[in-house]
Structure formats: structure tokens, C-alpha cells
Chains A and B, each alone.
Chain A
Amino acid sequence: MTLTATHLLALAPPILVCITAIVVMLAIAWRRHHTSIAIVTVVGLNLALLSLIGVWRMAPLAAPMLAIDGLAIFAAVLILVAALACATLTHAYLAQYSGPREEFYLLLLCATAGGLVLSASTHLATLFFGLELLSIPLYGMLAYVYGERRSLEAGVKYLVLSATATTFLLFGMAVLYAETGHLDVAGLAARLGDELGAWGLAGAALMMMGLAFKLSVVPFHMWTPDVYQGGPGPAATFLATASKVAVFVVLLRLVITAPAFQDGWLHNVLAVLAILTMLVGNLLALTQSNLKRLLGYSSIAHFGYLLTALVIGDGLSVEASAVYLVTYLLATLGAFGVVTLLSSPYVSGTQGGEDTAALHHYRGLFWRRPYLTAVLTITLLSLAGIPFTAGFIGKFYIIALGVESQRWGLVGAVIVGSAIGLFYYLRVMVTLFLAEAGMQRRDAPENWAIQAGGVVVLGAAVLVVVLGIYPAPMIDWMHHIEVLVGG
């Protein structure tokens, strides 16, 4: 297949992001100026987002090794929105930081480009390329405040474990290639057929393992809390949102296009892993006293819920996972955004302080910062799946999916998981409203709401409520995506 102008146009979003990365790099070399670099980044990401409107009209389209279909565009929107939010939050977060601040945007842009490629990949080469382009800048982002011990620890931990997972992925690809002689997913699916041989099974399982690590599915979840806790706010936000969305979408694509990944044995393993992930994630979150750790465990649980969509893999599942991803993304952006804003005044020197994430920092926050607390409350309610928030619509979809395909075990686990989950979300929420004790105070800057970062969290919270009360537009869009997939 030759590359035509249409293909180039269709690939505009990742290209625009890459161009922005180059511009940012050159600008840093020319002169360091934090705000203008941030503006260039945001403009570039917005252009990429705008170009998606044009791409949407061309879809579905198959570029070499990449698919430009509904799913890819949907993932691109989510990744770009998350990256935009992270860029704005970074500006607030690094404002007081005395070390080099501008490179963070460079890393962020590279990782975004990686996410865009990964979520559109239909070939194992692009899959691997995208995944590494997404992960490697993340090491840098996580260890960015390297004077802080925990940040460095997070970066190194993620580096080592992620590299291990990548070797599994590569080995799986190699095995599949040896078995079939194909690297493109469609070819793989055709050669493997419905029955996996021993080698095919080993390859598919190893690939799943590599991807499951990135999603922190249960036996591979050990890194999550430490990395979430240690990484600087914006980096953790990016990891929890854009990175996970991209990996999940590629997994979803694999499962849809190659039924071999849904083979009986693998299918059962996946179902068990989904249940384990929900329960373990929620149970481990119960006793956490650090909000970022807690959100880390809660994100494990949420991907457990999402895995049900993968396990079921038909009927509503694309629509359900798309809706769930949107609601998860918005709520997570809001929650991490608030944490980041509250941490921003304390990231000073190279030996700067830890992020404001201990629960006691949040005691009585409502009486000092009512709107910021309202944002955090709404996002936590959404993560818990309470009506009037978008999270409820997501949970509704997951349960609907389970009931439709009559997988009662999964439905039961979702219910038990949500009940356990409520306990820790409520614990955080009530802390926000409790009377102030005379303990160390941590606070957001006075003018948080009018700054860009404040607008992001307020926007996330408003969207969570609006989509919770009037979800019809979102649902229609997701329904449309489902129609566009399959090309």
C-alpha cells in the first residue's frame, strides 16, 4: 500500500503533535521561557484536536500499519484531551519549581504522540513502537522532580518493571511471528483461525501479559501505588489517563480483530483476572492514607471493571468500554487535578517537598476551598458510580453488559467491588468536610480558580455532572463509534 495525500491528512493528529514536539525542543534551545513553551504545547495539542474533525469525515480509512477508524479517533480525542489537561496542570505545578521546567512539555508531547500511534496500530511493529514511545518519556516524567526521593524511585521502578513487561510483549510477538509468519493483526488473525495451537496460545498469553502490566491488571499491579504516589502530579495524571486509555484501546482492538485472543482458555483466564483485579484493587485501597496511592488502587479496580467489556467482547462491549473510558478519564482528571493544584505551591527546589496527598492534608478542606472540594467530591462520587455523575452511566453500561450476556459471576464481582469501593471513597469525602483540626495546613494558591489549571478541574467536574444528568449526546457518539469500527 502506498502512502497518499489522504493518508497524510488522516495522520495529521500524530504528525501535528510531533511537529509541536520539535518546535518545543528548538524553542527550549533558543530561550527558556516556561509560559510560552506551555502555550506552544497547548496550541499544538489543540490543533491536533481540531484536525480530528477533518479526520472524522474521512474515517474509516486504513493507512499502512495504522487504522483510522472510529475507535482510533475516539482514543485520539481522549488522549489529546488528557494531554491538554496535563499540560495546563503542569504549568500550575511547575510554576514554583527552580529546576528546568520546559523539558516536561517535550516529554509530554512525545508520550502523547506514542499514545496516538499505539491506539491506532493494526500491526505489531506500530504497536511496539507506539507503546515504547508512550512509555519511555513517562520514565522521565515520573522522575522529573528528581531531587525528591520518591519521584526518582517512581521513575526507576517504572523503568525496570516496564522494561521487563516489554520483553514479555516482544517475546510474545516473536513467538506469534514464528508460528504464523505475519506481523499485521489481520494476517495474524487469519492464520491463527479460531483454534490456537500451543505456540499461538503462548504468544497471545505473553502479549497479553505485557499489555496487562501497563493496565496494572492484578498479578501485574505491584508497581501502581508506588509510582502513582511518587510521580509528580501531572505525570501521574498522564499515566492514569492517557497512557491507560491508549493501552486499553489497543487491547480492545486486538480482541475485536483477532478472535484468537478470545480463545476459550485465554478467555477464562481473562475473566478470572477481571474479577481478581476488581476485588484486589478495591480491597487494597481500603486502608490507604495517601490520596494518590488510593487513586492508584482505585484505577486498578476500574480497569478490572473495564476488563469485563473485553471478556464479553460482543454486543454492547465497544460502546460500554468507550463510555466507561470517558467517564473514568473525566473523573480521574478532576481528582488528580485537584491533588496537583494543591501540591503546586510546595514543589519548590530540586529537593522540593512531597505532593499534597496525605489524607490529613485534606481534612476540612471544604471550609477553606468550597469549590475545589466540590470538584473533588463530584469526581470521587463519579469514581464510586453514584447517580448525577458520569460514573454512574459508566457503571450502568458495565452492569448492563454483564446482564445482557448473563455473566453473573462478573456482575456479582462488579457489585461487590463497588460496595467495597464506596467505603474508601466515602472516607475521603467525609474527611474533606470534617472540622478543621489545628494541624499543618496545605492550601491551593488563592487565585486557583482563574488560572488555567483551575479551569481544567472545574471543567472536568462540570462535564462529569452534565454527562451524568444528560448523557444522551455521549451515548450517541459512542454508538456511532461502534458502527465505525470493524473496518
Chain B
Amino acid sequence: MTLIWLILIPFMGGLLCWQAERFGDLPPRWIALATMLIELAITLGLWFHGDYHLANAGMASDSVRWSMEWRVAWIPRFGIDVHLALDGLSLVLIALTGFLGVLAVLCSWHEIVRRVGFFHLNLLWILGGVVGVFLAIDLFLFFFFWEMMLVPMYFLIALWGHSGSEGRTRIRAATKFFIYTQASGLVMLVSILGLVFAHHANTGEYSFAYATLMQTPLSESTAMWLMLGFFVAFAVKLPVVPVHGWLPDAHAQAPTAGSVDLAGILLKTAAYGMLRFALPLFPEASQAFAPVAMTLGVIGIFYGALLACGQQDIKRLIAYTSIAHMGFVLIGIYAGTPLALQGVVLMMVAHAFSAAGLFILSGQLYERLHTRDMREMGGLWGRLGSLPGFSLCFVAASLGMPGTANFLGEFLILFGSFPVAPWVVVIASVGLVLAAIYSLLLMQRVYFGPPQGEGMLADLDHREYVMLLTLLVLVLLFGLYPQPLLDTTAAAMGEVQRLFGAVPQSTTLLTGMP
């Protein structure tokens, strides 16, 4: 029952915010903040009181084990249930959603001044949809939330976004985002239905249940096509390079809260989808597809990093670095060794923190300078109080400095993937150098060099200071002591690895590893 509340709370909070607008601007903000804090508190409560090591014990049993499960019939005609389940992976990602939700509300405290209630309605509904995606294990329900969260995101970008240079209006960016993800989502729907009808042909029963569909025997070519359908949807959202076109525009045009959500959580739904659905449902096809996916990951790393170097718009730059980072995630997922999968989880969390930090910082720069163009910045180090210091920390995290969670994530991914795909790892490691280059370019262009103006700009206020400090503490905490996170997700990742990893050499090298 707790699980359904996790989804309902943001939706109800959103409606309350909308209605609270008539009492002024402040009530919606406080309601939204309270909603997300409750959400976060529930998740943390579940984290401390739940046991997420269960699945390891039952390795032999063929059904998937969940820490919590909630199920009620929805559309009996097709065997569709409202079936929610929680394991370590979804727990971590929901906690992340709650935390970034709080940040998103906080960072729009002064930025959003028009139609505050409706803004928070959209913000909270996105988060509700994302939580739904992380909890749903009925494929129909998963798709339902997957598509549903696009609508509020669209409004967030289209109505409260910034219009960029000519030809790059916010509505265009929002529409592009929507069409990319919706169309690819429909391809996934076709795949889901293909799987369901394959199951129907075998057993004569309709079912959209995850555990049931996993047992469906498929011919090799069918499995490949269906897997590709899932992959396309997730690849667009992640994004993987040939289908990334929506991301820079959406990021650049979105308000800060939108960027934080987009980079922090929405991209993670794609990685989650691959880990939860694409790999376990079609292990052989995914294994066969792995070299292609890893190549795409490598291309993403270089493409993202190279284009990031050439950007003038600070938010576009950060957007391109996301593409590079997601390249690492893609490699880790398709390497499929326990170590690489653990690295993927760590990388997702770390990237959420560092990207959120950078987007919040660029939002704060925008509030002070009213531009995101780096050509109009420069020499800000002495004029902004503690903001440049925070920037340096998050940029260091983003380039994967040891001591930050990003370093551990990248390290685990590369280390874990090496036995499976040594050459991919060798080439991807070169990408780390590029990461250093674009990060330092960012620092240099914005904070050093000749100053463009005189006088001090406003320093961080308490709200901003606390937000950034919390993020930084978390980045360092998970960078120095990631064990709690790894313990929580170990069972879930072990399950993925058990289903996916039939690669012999990956296990021999890793015996004896913690």
C-alpha cells in the first residue's frame, strides 16, 4: 500500500498546488516542498527499515523476488494489473527522485514568478510519473507512466523555458522533445504488444506481467526485433548518439528545475528501463546486441565531449557532457558484469548529483547575469562570493576526480567492462581526457580571464548555499564511502547479471571480488 502512495502523493500535491495559487505565490511553493519532503522521508524510511538483500538468497527460484509488492487487477480482459514492486534499484532511484524533487522546488523559488501553482502542478506530476516508472512492473503500467510524464515536462519547457537564439524557441525545443520520446515510446508499445501476443500464442492467455513474460520462449529473430523496439525507446531517452537531437535543445531551453529533473531523473528512467526490462526480458538478444550498444556508447562519449568543447551556451555544454556520461552508462549496462552494473548505479546517482549541481549553478548565474552565453562571462571568480568555489567542485566531480562519486562510477564501469570488452574500455578511457578538457574550458571561460564588468554580484543566499552544500556533501560521501549504496542495489544488480550474463570469461576473472 505504501507503494501506491508513493505515486499518489506527488499527484495530489500537484493538484493542491494548483488550487493553492489563489492564496498567493508562497503556498504552492511550500506545499510542493512539503510533498517532496514527505516523498523523500517515506523512501528513506523504507530504506532503513527494509531488507534489500533478499533476492540473493533465492537465486535458485525462477520467479523474481521483490522487497515489497502491491497488486490489484486493472484491465482483466488483457491480464493487465496495477502491479508495483520495489527492490534495491528502484528504491535508490526513487530516493534520488525525491531528493532532486526537493532541489527542483527550491531552485525555482525565485526563478519562477508567473503562474506558480500551475508550474508546481507540472513539476510534481513529472516526479509522480517518474516514480510510477520506477515502481511499475506490469509492462502496460510501465508504458502508461513512461508516456504520461512527457506531458507535464512538455508544458514545463514550453511555458516557463527560456527562448534561446533565433530558431531555437522553447516551444520548438519542447515539441522536439515530445515527438522524439513519444514516437519512440510507441515503438516500445509495439514491442510490448509483440511480446504479449507471442505469450498469448504459446499459452492462450493475455498477460502483461513482468515475471510471466520473462518465461516466454521466443525465436531468435523475434527476440531481436522486440529487443530493438525496447532499445529504441530507451536509447532516445538516455540519449544514445544518433537519436540525441532533442537533448541539447530541451536542456538549454528548459527552466532550471526542468533541467535538473531532465538530467537528474528522466535520463535515468532510460537506464533503469534497460536494466529492468530490455536485458532481463531478452537476455540472448541483448547479449548479441551488446557490441553494437557498446560501440554506440563509445561514440556517445566522444561525440558528447567534443561537442561540449565547442559550446558557447553553458547549459548546452552541460547537456552535451550528459551525453558523454550516459555513454559510460550504456557501456556498463551492456558489459553486464556485476562490477560494471554496480558502477552503472553509482554513475547514475553521481551524474544526477553533479549534473543537478551544475544546472543549478548555471541557473544562479543566469539569475545574476541574465545570460547563459559564456562569451559574456569571464573573470567572475572574484565577483561572486562562494559560487565559483562550488562550481569548481562540481566541475571536478563531473570530470571524474578521485574522491567524488563520479570517479568511482566511471572506474567501476571501466574496470568491470574490461574483461568483456577490453578495446572498448581502452578507447572509452581516452574519453576521460576529453572530459578534463571540457570541464577546464568551462571553468576558464566563465570564471577566469578578463572580467567583463565591475563590482560584486550578489552572493549565494542561504537557500542556494544549503542546496549546493547538500549536493556536494552527497557527492563526496558516495565518493568516499559508496558501500551502503552498493549493498542496497547489489541484489537487484545480481539478478540482472544472473539473467543477462551468460558470458563465461566475465565470471572467471571476478571470482573472489567483493
Contact = CB atoms under 8 A, between A and B. Distances in A.
A388 B150 CA distance: 12
B197 A404 contact: yes
Contacts of B16: none
B145 A419 contact: no
A399 B154 CA distance: 24
A434 B158 CA distance: 9
Nearest to B125: A388
A415 B143 contact: no
Interface stretch (B178-186, B294-302, B317-325): B178-186
Contact of A430 (B115, B150, B158): B158
B77 A419 contact: no
Interface residues of A, number: 32
A411 B190 contact: yes
A426 B186 contact: no
A475 B73 CA distance: 14
B145 A387 contact: yes
A387 B148 contact: yes
A415 B186 contact: yes
Nearest to B197: A404
Contacts of B114: 435
Given A419-B179, A422-B178, A472-B75, A403 B147 contact: no
Contacts, number: 82
A434 B115 CA distance: 11
Interface residues of B, number: 35
Contacts of B187: 415
B148 A388 contact: yes
Contacts of A433: 118, 155, 158-159
A220 to B, nearest CB: 28
A422 B186 CA distance: 12
Contacts of A423: 175, 179
A56 to B, nearest CB: 20
Given A404-B197, A471-B75, A418 B182 contact: yes
- Find the residue from A430, A434, A470, A471 having the highest chain B CB count within 10 A: A430
B189 interface: yes
Contacts of B193: 399-400, 403-404
A434 B170 CA distance: 12
Contacts of A435: 114
B200 to A, nearest CB: 8
Interface in A442-487: 470-472, 475-476, 479
Contacts of B30: none
A419 B74 contact: no
Contact of A418 (B73, B171, B174, B186): B186
Contact of A399 (B148, B151, B158, B189): B189
B411 interface: no
Interface string B115-151: 1001000000000000000000000100111011011
Nearest to B158: A430
Contacts of B155: 430, 433
Contact of A381 (B151, B189, B194): B151
The 8 tightest CB contacts between A and B, nearest first, are A419-B183, A403-B193, A387-B148, A387-B144, A415-B186, A475-B77, A387-B147, A430-B158
Given A418-B186, A475-B77, A475-B78, 18 more contacts: A386-B182, A387-B143, A387-B144, A387-B147, A388-B148, A392-B144, A399-B186, A399-B189, A399-B190, A411-B190, A414-B186, A416-B183, A418-B183, A419-B186, A430-B154, A430-B174, A433-B118, A433-B155
30 contacts: A381-B151, A386-B150, A386-B151, A386-B182, A387-B143, A388-B144, A396-B140, A396-B189, A399-B186, A399-B190, A400-B193, A403-B193, A404-B193, A404-B197, A415-B187, A416-B183, A418-B183, A418-B186, A419-B179, A419-B182, A423-B175, A426-B158, A426-B178, A430-B154, A430-B159, A433-B155, A433-B159, A470-B74, A472-B75, A475-B78
